[in-house]
Amino acid sequence: MQSHSQRPVLGLLAIGVGAAVGIALLNQRPSRSYRIAPPDSAPGRLAKHADFGDYAVVGKTVLIDKPRQELFDYWRDFSNLSSFMENIEAVKPGTNGSSIWTIAAPAGQSVEVETQVVDERAGELIAWRSVEGSSIDTEGRVAFRDAPAGRGTYVEAIVAYKPPGGELGRLIAKLFQREPNVQGRRELKRFKMLMETGEIATSRNRREAA
């Protein structure tokens, strides 16, 4: 399998065509099912036989009862992300408009990743990618779409990354409760709570950690 290290993975996923097509492009070899099955309306990452090569892809959509622009603005200020993303310790501005993300890693350690915004449409979309030579090869995008009948905004976040140390890295991450799929789901829920209620629900009874 060829390396995808600097290939814009999500760019391929995002074109909105059927599941099989996105995957086929990633794999560079159309499968049999690709030829018979017509594309459906679900996001490509949900294909039963999704295969993103060396990449792990995490994606989740949440409906938030707030206008698109308001949600976009909050997210676009990356320094806000640590308020609802448990494993993001901080996001600080780097040089040339880049951002430096400090991500919590197992055993109390942390990793820094430098990213650049590669696409941006006000109120609609933010996409970022790690710069060349970054310790984790990752890209992400968040899209904001109006839900029907004034019910708010569909917020879809997708992150693709090459796990440190491949499968083993994921295994370790799982052990430390930082499994990206679970984490991703929780983080979008926290984002929703914060936007809709102004706070993040907790059953803790006291301010300091128990």
Partner 1 sequence: MRALTWHGTHDVRVDTVPDPQIVNPRDAVLKVTSTAICGSDLHLYDGVIPGMLSGDILGHEFMGEVVDVGPKSTLKKGQRVVVPFTISCGSCYFCQKQQYSACDNSNPAEKQDISEPLYGHAVSALFGYSHMTGGYPGGQAEYVRVPFSDVGPIVIPDGMDDDEVLFLSDILPTGWMAAENCDIEPGDTVAVWGCGPVGLFAVQSAKLMGAERVIAIDHYPHRLELARKFGAETIDFNQTKVGEALMEMTGGIGPDAVIDAVGMEAHGFAPDNVLEVAKQKLGVAADRGHALREAIVSVRKGGRVSMPGVYGGFLDKFPLGAMMEKGLQWRTGQTHVQRYTADLLRRIQEGEIDTTFLISHRLPLEEAPTGYKNFHSKQDEWTKVVLKP
Tell the smallest beta-carbon distance from residue 175 to partner 1 (Å): 16
Tell the smallest beta-carbon distance from residue 17 to partner 1 (Å): 28
Residues that bind partner 1 (CB under 8 A): 63, 65, 151-152, 182, 185-187, 189-190, 192-193, 196-207
- Side chain identity at residue 210, one-letter code: A
Tell the smallest beta-carbon distance from residue 192 to partner 1 (Å): 7
Tell the smallest beta-carbon distance from residue 154 to partner 1 (Å): 13
Rounded Cα–Cα distance for residues 116 and 97 (Å) = 7
Rounded Cα–Cα distance for residues 85 and 89 (Å) = 8
Q: Which is nearer to partner 1, 118 or 200 (CB)?
A: 200
Could you tell me if residue 21 is left (phi over 0), alpha (psi between -120 and 50 degrees) or otherwise beta? Answer: alpha
Q: Which is nearer to partner 1, 65 or 120 (CB)?
A: 65
List Cβ<8 Å contacts ≥24 apart for 41-50. Answer: 43/13, 43/19, 43/156, 44/13, 44/17, 44/18, 44/19, 44/20, 45/13, 45/19, 45/158, 46/19, 47/19, 47/20, 47/22, 47/23, 49/23, 50/19, 50/23
Q: Which is nearer to partner 1, 4 or 68 (CB)?
A: 68
Is 33:11 a contact under the CB 8 Å cutoff?
Answer: no
Q: Which is nearer to partner 1, 117 or 200 (CB)?
A: 200
Tell the smallest beta-carbon distance from residue 21 to partner 1 (Å): 29
In the numeric block, which tokens belong to residue 154? 């569909």
Q: Which is nearer to partner 1, 164 or 184 (CB)?
A: 184
Q: Which is nearer to partner 1, 139 or 187 (CB)?
A: 187
Rounded Cα–Cα distance for residues 84 and 193 (Å) = 9
Tell the smallest beta-carbon distance from residue 6 to partner 1 (Å): 34
